[in-house]
Amino acid sequence: MNIVGISACAAGIAHTYIAKEKLVEAAEADGHTIHIETQGTVGTEDELDPADIAKADVAIIAADISVSGKDRFKGIKTIEIPTELVIRSPHKLMKKIEEIVESK
């Protein structure tokens, strides 16, 4: 499965990067390809490549705030979830995402 997404928290510091790390670790452990962009106080980092978005089966918005650029995911199944849930249960989240994508 090809996954893209955005991670962002209110402060734009800790939870943004922890959520990204947890998503990447869980996705890669399950054999998926994943690219996560971060948005925060330092701006946008690891901006998503349009080619990765075009290949995506699903987009994950792990955010506690409003994020910019969600329009890039038009036509892609998109899941929005708070960063804390990603941090607490990344593997359970990945299994749920697999179920959602497979039910297309």
Residue with tokens 């959602």: 100
9 is catalytic: yes
- CA–CA distances in Å: residue 17 to residues 23, 37, 57, 77, 99: 10, 10, 23, 23, 25
Q: Which of 9, 26, 48, 62 is catalytic?
A: 9
Do 58 and 3 contact (CB within 8 A), yes or no? Answer: yes
Q: What angle do CA 59, 32, 88 make, to 5 degrees?
A: 70
Please give the positions annotated as active site: 9
